[in-house]
Structure formats: structure tokens, C-alpha cells
A = this chain, B = another copy of it.
Amino acid sequence: MIRIGIIGGSGYTGGELMRLLLVHPQADIICITSRQKDGEPISNTHPHLRGFTDLEFENIDPGEVAKQCDVVFTAVPHGTAMDIVPRLLDHKVKVIDLSADYRLPVDVFEQVYNLAHKAPKKAVYGLPELHPEVADSTLVANPGCYPTGAILSAAPLASQGMIEQVVFDSKSGVSGAGAQPTGVSHYPNMSQNVQAYKLTTHRHGAELQSELGQLDSSIKISFTPHVIPSVRGILTTAHLFIKEDLDIDQITRIYQTFYKDKPFIRLLSGIPSLGAVRGSNFCDIGFEIDASSRRLVVVSAIDNLVKGASGQAIQNMNLMFDLNETAGLMTPALFP
């Protein structure tokens, strides 16, 4: 059994790690930290976990966590992880960081997050479909929720240098904004609404640029996020303008080849929707082509808390510990 620590377990990604790891066949959660909830039962915060664990939140030092564990998930805000991750690595424990601190080149990170990086480390961007080298890594930077679905929608064509320009228009469930009540998450504001925000300036744009830019440095990327009245899920509509006339069969073949043997990518002949991935680690992808304008619209659907966060983190853990990539993750979505 892999001994697991979770630093910062009181938010949605912490809760989701537990939901999945408590029934993972090779995982044993050893400790879960929270400064604010020290001493409280986990199920006070995560009511769905009642009966699954007797653990309480602890307020202990990262070094203490590391000593007891084989791997530690850090589910803390950006800017905080860089204080914790190096101390974990010092103890030779493997680390999967769900914050933004290790996802970008240091100079890009510092500019985008307007923050000096205190402790740069070599990390692998934990999108396993593009980065099988997570298997050999000790520090994985787990991707942002929006970039996961957006990159996966465009990567096959980007890898072929086929994309002139892409506009990602993403729609996220409210859980992406976290467990703390805010004006945006206030039911009367969000119900019956759709809220566009950071129309041209969302930080996840930098991840898109970084990752897709590695596949094709000339690609032009735009990204606009929205919050929709759904708890979970991100649907990304990728408006792709391509360089050559390609028919639907050619495009299908490019996607099929790129995602061959990727267990969590499902290519559909229709258009994905959130219900089919809710609660699961799948990324569903479908597309239509407008032949007359070299325009392709690709739609991807993920659960932002699973493939967009905690599920993907566990997928990375599986690879880092040479388990089956799908261990503990091959469960159907909750539909309807």
C-alpha cells in the first residue's frame, strides 16, 4: 500500500482526493492537514465521507507528514506550495502539487502571478497524455482545470503544426471557485446565469501557451473563461482555424492516433456533454468541421474536480508508483 499525505485537505480538491483514495485499492491515507480545522473530524467538512474514515484534520509540519508517507499531495493556494514542496522533497518523498507554483517556467510564473518564486524546482507538467515522463518524476505539477480540457482538445492538431489560431471559450462549474462562499457562488447570483470573467487575462492562459507552444511555437491562442450554473464540469469549446483543408476523416485519424492507448480519453462521434463525465476521470472529445472556412470546432468535457484536479493527480500517482494508470479511477460518471 502506498502511504499518502494530503496537505490542505479542507477544500474541494482535498475532499475529492479523499473520495477517490479512500476506495483506491493500493492507497492508504495516513494524514490530512488543515490549519483551520485542526482536530476536527474529516466528515464535518466533507459530509459524504462519513463512515469512510476516522481521520481528523491535523495541523502538522510538512516534514512530519513526509516522514510517514511515500507521496504527498499539496492542495494549497499558489504561493504557498513553494514554501512546502522543497521541504517535502528534502525527505525523499514524491510530491504531486495541485497549485500553480510549478506549472510554468519560473520567469513566466513570476510575471503571470506577480510573485517572486522562492524555490524553483524541476517538475513535470502532470498531463499524462502529453507527458509520460511523469512516471519517472519526483515532483509533478498537476495542471490547472481549464488547461487540462483545453490542451487535450487541441493537442493532436497542434502537434502536427496544423493550427493557425485557436479561441478557447470555456464554461466551468461553480466548484472551480472553491468551497468558500463568495458573491459569484451566491445561489441567487449564479442560478439562471452565466458569468464571463477575466475575458482576456486569466492566468491559465499562460499554461495553454506554455504547453501548446511546446507542440507548435507559432500557434496563436485566445482564452476566455465563464462560470455556469453547474456544480462540476468544464466544457471547452475550441474554435480552431487550421492551415490546410482537412476533411473529417483526416482529423479523426489524427486524434485517434494521438490518443491511442490513453484510457481516459474518449473520442465521440457526437458532441460531449458534462453529464457523461461527472464524477469521473474521463475527457470526452468531439468535433465538427466547417469545410468552407478551414474552421474546426472541438468540444471537450471533463469534471473539473476529477480529470481537472484530483483524479488527474491520482492518475499521476499511479504512474509514479508503477501501478496501473487507471487504478482506483475506472468508475463510470454519475449520470443522470
- The answer to whether A293 touches B222, judged by C-beta atoms less than 8 angstroms apart, is yes
Q: How far is the CA of A276 from the CA of B193 in the complex (A)?
A: 10
- The answer to whether B49 touches A189, judged by C-beta atoms less than 8 angstroms apart, is no
Asked whether A232 is an interface residue with its Cβ less than 8 Å from the other chain, the reply is yes
- The answer to whether A289 touches B200, judged by C-beta atoms less than 8 angstroms apart, is yes
Known contacts A185-B186, A275-B189, A293-B222; A201 and B169 CB within 8 A of each other? no
Q: How far is the CA of A47 from the CA of B282 in the complex (A)?
A: 12
The 8 Å CB contact of A288, one of B199, B226, B274, is B199
Known contacts A181-B182, A287-B199; A228 and B332 CB within 8 A of each other? no
Q: How far is the CA of A237 from the CA of B167 in the complex (A)?
A: 11
Residues of B within 8 A of A181 (CB): 181-183, 185-186
Asked whether A52 is an interface residue with its Cβ less than 8 Å from the other chain, the reply is yes
- The answer to whether A266 touches B231, judged by C-beta atoms less than 8 angstroms apart, is no
- The answer to whether A188 touches B171, judged by C-beta atoms less than 8 angstroms apart, is no
Binding-face segment, A27-35, A57-65, A128-136, A172-180: A172-180
Asked whether A273 is an interface residue with its Cβ less than 8 Å from the other chain, the reply is yes
Q: How far is the CA of A268 from the CA of B50 in the complex (A)?
A: 10
- The answer to whether A171 touches B174, judged by C-beta atoms less than 8 angstroms apart, is no
Q: How far is the CA of A289 from the CA of B199 in the complex (A)?
A: 8
Residues of B within 8 A of A284 (CB): 50
- The answer to whether A275 touches B228, judged by C-beta atoms less than 8 angstroms apart, is no
Residues of B within 8 A of A274 (CB): 192-194
Residues of B within 8 A of A204 (CB): none
Give 14 A-B pairs besides A189-B275, A194-B228 with Cβ atoms closer than 8 angstroms. A23-B330, A47-B275, A48-B277, A52-B332, A171-B226, A186-B187, A188-B336, A191-B191, A194-B274, A196-B273, A200-B289, A222-B290, A224-B297, A229-B230
A-B contact pairs, 13 of them (CB 8 A): A47-B275, A51-B266, A51-B282, A167-B167, A169-B239, A191-B231, A194-B274, A199-B297, A200-B290, A200-B295, A222-B295, A278-B334, A331-B331
The interface of chain A, by Cβ under 8 A from chain B, is: 12, 15, 19, 22-23, 46-52, 167, 169, 171, 173-175, 179-183, 185-197, 199-201, 220, 222, 224, 226, 228-233, 235, 237, 239, 266, 268, 271, 273-280, 282, 284, 287-290, 293, 295, 297, 299, 330-336
